[in-house]
Amino acid sequence: MARRPLPRILSTGSAQIARSRELARTAADSATDVLHPLITITRGLRRLASAGRRRWAETPKDRRGPLLFLVASVVLVVALVPYGPLLAVISLMAAAAWHGRERKSPEPEEPDESQTQRLQSLYEALVPYFSAAEDPDPLYTHGGEWEKAFPAYDFDATGRITHLLVRYPAYFTDGEAESRARIEQLLHAKSGRGREYHFTWDEEGNELTVTVLAPLPTDIAAQRFVTAPGETVLGFTDPTQVQRTLPLGHGDGQRDVPPVVWRTGIRSTEPHLLVMGQPGSGTSTLLRSIALQALQYGDVVIVEGGGTGEYACLTGRDGVLAVECGLAGALASLEWAATETERRLIAVNHARQAGRPAPDDTKRPLWVLLDRPTAFTHLAAADGRKDPQSLLQVPLRHGRAANVTVVVADQFDSAEALSDPVRQHTRARVVLGPATAEQLEAVLGAPPHTTPVAQVPPGRGYARLGTGPVHRLQVPATPDPYDDATSEADRQAVLALLPERTTPADGETVPSDAVGSETVTSEAVTSEAVVAEAP
């Protein structure tokens, strides 16, 4: 049977459709070439509008009014200038064309031979930890390719790794602290010791980001910080850890540095602080810095167990109630602090029951700073006296309601001598100086996400406020101004922050040639008053 030929329209239809598609594609390409400037300008205007909306959203509400006034003033000036609108339109089109251009992403540079060898050695070292015999398609194998495991990396001028993105299989136990610690220790050793590394684990994406942290600034001197009442600056940290910066004076200029701010007072969840460190790590420097900040709004009682006279510059200053270096003075001062805490609690309770606000004498903050109180523990046991730490139970337990803050600083070799109330009620923690991972976790309650180094400058450590993250910390330089080793700039910076010295009780100025006789007279009067009050 002979086949009938297909209709002409069906036999030539596919060819016509193909030609039509080619003509449409050619027309579209021609239109794109003709309209390319318009497309570029439109894309640029859209990007400029997005940038303007982001800038407006980031602007604080108290600054939006002046910003609108400034924009309106610029528009008015442009409108009044001859050819101003035309020049403004031309400038806008030029800016839109610049921002709307197609930006080609730079091609990643291939690592050289030494960098490739370093990445390959890192890959081989991770094989025993990131491989399993049951894996049908292992990501890590001996002699395998490191390109899939390390998709992103950066090197410094010396050829050492500064940034590394590590991919690992899903069956790796990244939720266990021991497994993560082994990987971090391995990467720290293979990437180069003597630097601090920050590890960010993405458990959902099975990725580990390793970043080399820049050293924290050590040239920040003591100064007045822009803080509110109840805020104390412990030190400064990395810009990626906090969302706040403080303007600081640095020589003749000014710079913004991210701080670690500790909030105290009635609404604080971490009302007391514990500082631990090695000798010479900067614990006394931190206590001096806290004392100078606390004297702006409150009173300070200082108890020094080291007996080195680190706080002699604060003796007799306005707001400094006592600076005690002996056991008898420490017991008397801490007993008064406990009694004052109870008095404030009773006064506040009576005022609340009567429907009145708290008395003014209970609102002024009281700070109790103790440097090495464990040194008095041995002296008290030898003399058969009460341990001064036992007097801290009331201020530690009820200090938040009474506006009483306790700060304790001690050394690691005396950590076992700290009392249970000090351990339980100091929820803000700071560790200064070189410390092992076990010591950091024991004090802070959580390991830091960075690798500690053996050699650190004074005042360098870690801080954790309550259950928050662990921050790197650098304490501002607040040395003893009476120390001969203190530089002149740091000495003047500390002396400028000291309050004025208080005058004698009778309001008279004591001549320099009558200091000895005045001391004897005052002691005699005090002895007579004590005898007269005795029953």
Q: What is the pLDDT of residues 195-233, one digit of tens each?
A: 888 899 999 999 999 999 888 888 889 999 999 999 999
Burial (CB count within 10 angstroms: exposed 0-12, middle 13-18, buried 19+), residue 379? middle
| 129 in a structural domain | yes
| 521 in a structural domain | yes
pLDDT at 517: 35
pLDDT in tens, 209-219: 999 988 888 88
Nearest to 166 by CA among 186, 137, 193: 186
pLDDT in tens, 75-121: 888 888 888 888 888 888 888 888 777 765 554 567 788 888 999 99
| 144 in a structural domain | yes
Strand partners, 366: 299, 404
Domain of residue 506, CATH code: 3.40.50.300
Most confident of 26-40, 389-403, 449-463: 389-403
pLDDT at 429: 96
pLDDT at 454: 74
| Domain-terminating residue out of 161, 183, 213 | 213
- What is the residue-wise DSSP string for 354-408? TT-PPPGGGTS-EEEEEESTHHHHHHHHHHT---GGGGGHHHHHHTTTTTEEEEE
pLDDT over 50 (residue 6)? no
Most confident of 212-216, 407-411, 452-456, 530-534: 407-411
| Mean pLDDT, residues 32-56 taken together | 80
**Confidence band of 511 (pLDDT split at 50, 70, 90):** very low
| Mean pLDDT, residues 410-430 taken together | 93
pLDDT over 70 (residue 148)? yes
| 534 in a structural domain | no
Give the Cα separation of 333 and 341 in Å (integer): 12
Segments forming the whole domain that contains residue 432: 231-529
| 9 in a structural domain | no
Give the Cα separation of 251 and 423 in Å (integer): 40
| Mean pLDDT, residues 344-364 taken together | 93
| 83 in a structural domain | no
Give the whole-number percent of the chain exceeding pLDDT 70.
Answer: 87
pLDDT over 60 (residue 443)? yes
- DSSP class of residue 155 equals E
| Domain-terminating residue out of 213, 242, 264 | 213
**Confidence band of 194 (pLDDT split at 50, 70, 90):** confident
| 87 in a structural domain | no
**Confidence band of 160 (pLDDT split at 50, 70, 90):** confident
| 31 in a structural domain | no
| Mean pLDDT, residues 402-423 taken together | 93
pLDDT at 104: 59
480/360 same-domain check: yes
Tell me which of 98 and 529 has the higher pLDDT.
98
List own/partner pairs for 79-82 with CB under 8 A and 24 or more apart: none
189/267 same-domain check: no
| Mean pLDDT, residues 162-188 taken together | 91
Domain total of the chain: 2
pLDDT over 80 (residue 320)? yes
- Residues that constitute the known binding site for ATP: 277-284
pLDDT at 2: 53
199/307 same-domain check: no
Strand partners, 430: 275, 463
Q: Are strands 428-432 and 273-277 parallel, antiparallel or unpaired?
A: parallel
pLDDT at 52: 83
264/206 same-domain check: no
Strand partners, 407: 273, 369
315/166 same-domain check: no
187/273 same-domain check: no
Lowest mean pLDDT across 80-94, 117-131, 168-182, 269-283: 80-94
435/320 same-domain check: yes
266/193 same-domain check: no
153/295 same-domain check: no
| Domain-terminating residue out of 165, 180, 213 | 213
352/466 same-domain check: yes
pLDDT in tens, 329-340: 999 999 999 999
- Residues that constitute the known binding site: 277-284
pLDDT at 252: 67
183/238 same-domain check: no
Give the Cα separation of 94 and 90 in Å (integer): 6
Q: Which residues contact 464 (CB under 8 A, 6 or more apart)?
A: 428, 429, 430, 444, 445, 446, 470, 471
332/201 same-domain check: no
- What is the residue-wise DSSP string for 259-298? EEEEE-STT-S---EEEEE-TTSSHHHHHHHHHHHHTTTS
Mean pLDDT score across all residues of the chain:
84
> Phi and psi for 408 in degrees, rounded to 5?
-120, 130
pLDDT over 50 (residue 127)? yes
pLDDT at 8: 52
pLDDT at 191: 85
